Structure 1
Amino acid sequence: MIKRVITSISIAIVMAVVASCQPGTKEAPKTEPKDSITSQPLKPTDSGYADVNGLKLYYEVYGEGKPIVLLHGSFMNIPMNWAQVIPLFAKNRKVIVAEMQAHGRTKDISREFSYEAMADDVSGLLKHLKVDSADVLGYSMGGGVAFQFAVRHPEQLRRLVVLSGTYRHDGWWPDVEAMFATMNADMFKGSPIEQQYISYGNDSTHFPEFIKKVMSIDLKPYDWSRDVKNIKAPIFMAIGDADGVRYEHALELFRAKGGGKMGDIHGLPASRLAIIPGTTHIGMMQHMDWMLPMINDFLDADLNAPPPTF
């Protein structure tokens, strides 16, 4: 009975992932960034492959200004995760997006799939682009990569934004963590995820290996609590109120980063926490119009400003 329930949850989440690739039930999928004014395709100012750590990492760069790196979730790629987000950030920032190992146009290599290795790849990409430091935003799997980037490469990080990500394996609700072991390629049969995997020149017979490899990082325990709580850069962590991430997990980090005090008395902490109402794990990406003002305010905030007075 329990196994049946977990499998049902797994299928539901896969279907939600597939649905998240669609902007709405009455529209065709948006597969590339569009200029918000002209609705014309938004072309990158730079794109290509960076040779990092034995990997040919595909990347794109949009806009000008302070750099921000966007790190996608599991099974996703640039257009599927960020097509509607890139134009919003690119209005006044340099947006750097990449496709992680085995995802999108970045081909897999015979290397263990890990948050740590992908974080090192992001570091290598910034060096390739001659970007000294950047804000980093990671969603879901990308949130884990972002946490590890902050831990392993603090000199390259300005501020950190994690959307629906965890720094410890039990940061997920127990049923969600149990679900990971039940996910397989059959659940993605005919989905946009499988279609895009094949469209980028991958052998369809290797799709089950891709799903299994991506899931492998969440099938073994991990706990970066001590290192993450010692990150010096300000952190903005956001989860949905119906997310897969436990509220206590997010609150634990926020308290460690100076939260849990009345700001009018003690001043605002440099780090922030948001629990977004009416929002699931997948729904976080569908509510980026809500998130963007909060993210921009965090990234642009004067950390030396005094608390408000009456």
Structure 2
Amino acid sequence: MSYADVNGLSMYYREHGDAPVTEDNPALVLLHGGLSGSDDFAALVPELSAHRRVITADLQGHSHTADVDRPIRVETIGDDVAALIKHLELGKADVMGYSFGGGAALRCAIQHPDAVRKLIVVSFPFRQDGFFEDVRAQQRQMSPESAAFMKQTPAWELYERTAPRPEDFPQLVGKMGEWLQQPFDYSEEIRGLQVPTQLIFADADMYSMQHICDFWALLGGGQRDAGWDGAARPGAHQLAVLPDTTHYAISSSPALAGTAERFLR
């Protein structure tokens, strides 16, 4: 368990596995969801770290990483992740993020393609209106005041147990709520993405199947028959929809590790 000073942030991270980091077997950096922490991937780390080094990191204001005086944005956190990769001298790493962490992973690959070998985005939209409307209505209710109503949730239990300043929880909820109200559309940048990318969604996710298909289309998927030999596939990109799961359960789904592992190999 260590901390790295990156971009004015003291970022908590842990290293798992003892495999040497090489160009052919790079490290895998895992990024958790919003209002959570590295525990998101606790069930998957043993399998993912069996043959490679795995780095789990707590993002700005989450779990062991204290907040700093700046808004929470996936763009700035993407910079933080690239700085952590450089700090640890990992060369090009594979980066996998879930939900909010998926947005940070995506922005890291867009903004720092020299730091990312392969990208896995788990359950994150490319555009703000990808969320179902009832989900967006819930997001609009997130504020420092609403933190009091979350004291019976796993998010608060983790934060109270791990955060250096548990009294900052209302600040985190408020900042996340404010981020969720910011319009975003990464379509054009995704079209130009050169990093091999795997998209993974739940079959009962918080985004419509149309939005998932539109995301896949931005990477060139779903446009034509790949042919008997697969020659017309959309480059090195992949799409996976995991059966019998939801946005909230996908990060611990037994199918997630195997799906990611096949892509990384």
TM-score where L is the length of structure 1: 0.77
Within a 5 Å distance, the mapping from 1:128-143 to structure 2 comes to 128-143=87-102
- Alignment-derived partner of residue 29 in structure 1: none
How many angstroms apart in 1 are the aligned matches of 2:252 and 2:60? 25
Tell me which amino acid in the other structure corresponds to 1:153.
H
Structure 1 counterpart of 2:261, one-letter code: N
1:50 match: 4
Higher relative contact order (CA 8 A, sep 6+): 2
Shift in Å, 1:93: 1.2
8 Å CA contact 2:141, 2:177 repeated in 1: no
**Counterpart residue number, 2:22:** none
Deviation at 1:174, TM superposition (A): 1.9
Does residue 72 in structure 1 map to residue 37 in structure 2?
no
Distance 2:109 2:174 in 1: 27
> What's the secondary structure of 1:274's corresponding residue?
strand
Aligned letter for 1:245? Y
Query: 1:114-166: CA deviations, max 9, x gaps?
Result: 11110110011011100111111110000110110111001111111111111
The amino acid that maps onto 1:274 is A
Q: Secondary structure at the match of 1:60?
A: strand
Could you say which residue in structure 2 is the equivalent of 1:13?
A: none
Question: Does residue 232 of structure 1 match 2:186?
Answer: no
Cα deviation digits, residues 158-207 of structure 1 (max 9, x gap)? 11111111121112112212220113213311333223322335444432
Confirm or deny that 1:174 pairs with 2:133.
yes
Query: Secondary structure in 1 aligned to 2:5?
Result: strand
Shift of 1:52: 0.6
One-letter identity of the residue aligned with 1:244: M
Identity of aligned residues (%): 34
Deviations 1:268-300 (A, max 9, x none): 33211122222111121231x112222111111
CA distance in 2, matches of 1:237, 1:178: 25
Q: Aligned residue for 1:264?
A: 227
- Larger CA Rg, structure 1 vs 2: 1
Note the aligned Cα RMSD (angstroms).
1.6
Q: Select the residue among 269, 272, 292 that pairs with 2:257.
A: 292
**1:182 aligns to what SS in structure 2?**
coil
Q: Which secondary structure does the structure 2 equivalent of 1:263 belong to?
A: coil
Number of equivalences: 252
Alpha-carbon distance in 1 for matches of 2:30, 2:65: 16
Q: CA deviation at 1:215?
A: 2.3
Amino acid across the alignment from 1:186: A
Q: Pick from 168, 171, 191: which aligns with 1:206?
A: 168
Conserved in 2, the CA contact under 8 Å of 1:242 and 1:279? yes
TM-score, normalised on structure 2?
0.90
Matched with 1:185 is: 147
